Amino acid sequence: MSKETLTWLNTNTLVGFTDKRGKAWHYRASEQGAEPNHYAGAIPVEDVNRRLFYWDAVKGTAMVTFDKPRTEHASAGLFYWTGSDGAAAVTYEDGGGMTLAADGRRFPVGRADTGAIFGYFADGYEIHQYRDWLVSNVATILDDELQIGSAGLLKGGAQAWVSVEVPENITTPEGVEFRPNLLACTSLDGSLATTYKRTVTVVVCDNTLAAGLHEQGQQIKIKHSKYSKKRMTEVRDALAIVHTVADDFAAEVKTLCETDVSEKAWRAFLDAHAPIEGKSKRSMTLASAERAELSRLWNFDHRVAPWKNTAYGVVQAVNTYTHHAQPVRGASRPERNMVRAVTGGVDKLDAQTVATLDMVLASLS
């Protein structure tokens, strides 16, 4: 992991309730800024706005240079490019051998403070300012039982999230300690609709799991369109879903812990989840390494072994492997994990794990 990535994660993410779950695994004291980014309790709303969302996302004008104009009109120095539908799509001026063009069909969105550009969008795209959609909306449900547990920026500010949590950890009769979350996330690069969804953080491993392990969790998505503000009431109503997370996840854990997975079934699951037969040499090598690590987790790791020979142990093994051991390219592991959480990768992973296990158990019955 590069120093720049560590610095970003330690200055552009905020982590709360560390008295209950410990420090984030990317924490480095040497990379903390003037203010530490870890909080013993809840993160104040004003700190999220002051430290992370203090800047505005703004629209700009797309300017392009061309070597030669397409068509010269009567007006001296003015040129127009005409699209196939006959509409003038760009207007530009000759700048002494180079042509500067303003594209009226698409506009850039970027940070007002740094000028960094996140993407180019067609007319109709609506910017969802982080302060409004991730803080003001979420603040409507905050009370003594619901507080901000984490917040941050990813990809240079192109994506952002705020997580609402309960102050106390919850432990199921099966020994699974977890924290229910409402994850609010959005983007300025076109990668995410504004999304409010239920997730769970398992304390023993700091992993994110889907609240409903058998299917993608309950969520609401708002596209970045000119009609998005009309759905504000729907958003506020949907935020109440956080209150259902604890009971739903505890029920899932109970069901999975009561589902026996024999050693024969575990080996059959590995064959289905990470098959070796019929694969290329490289794929066989990767699958073999994954199977070996999953088996180590299953038998010996404190994050998985307590639930060995249960369906929950299978889910925990795959989720823990993906969070902590799976090879990562093009990003740091903490950033990759958070991106997966906000984009829905966690939901898909857990649902696919349960579906594969159900198929295996059915074939053995």
C-alpha distances (whole Å) from 350 to each of 55, 68, 124, 312, 316 are 36, 54, 35, 10, 9
Q: Under DSSP, is residue 190 helix (H, G, I), strand (E, B) or coil?
A: coil
Q: What is the arithmetic mean of pLDDT over 227-234?
A: 75
Residue 124 has pLDDT above 90, yes or no: no
Residue 253 has pLDDT above 90, yes or no: yes
Name the residue among 290, 262, 261, 297 with its Cα closest to residue 275.
Answer: 290
Predicted confidence band of residue 216 (pLDDT cuts 50, 70, 90): low
Q: Residue range 67-80: average pLDDT?
A: 46
pLDDT-based confidence at residue 86 (cuts at 50, 70, 90):
very low
At residue 13 the predicted structure's pLDDT band, cuts being 50, 70 and 90, is very high
The mean of the pLDDT values for the chain is: 83
What pLDDT score does 217 carry? 53
Examine the pLDDT at 81 and tell me if it is beyond 50: no
Q: What is the CA radius of gyration of the chain?
A: 24
* Residue of higher predicted confidence among 300 and 207: 300
For residue 107, the model assigns a pLDDT of 87
The predicted structure's pLDDT at residue 244: 79
Residue appearing with tokens 């700048």? 95
- Rounded to two decimals, the pTM is 0.80
Strand partners, 310: 260
Highest average pLDDT, of 39-48, 223-232, 241-250, 327-336, comes from: 39-48
311-348 b/e (C-beta count within 10 Å ≥ 16 → b):
bbbbbbbbbbbbbbbbeeeeebbbbbbbbbbbbbebbe
H-type helices in 176-301, by residue range?
Answer: 232-238, 245-257, 263-273, 281-300
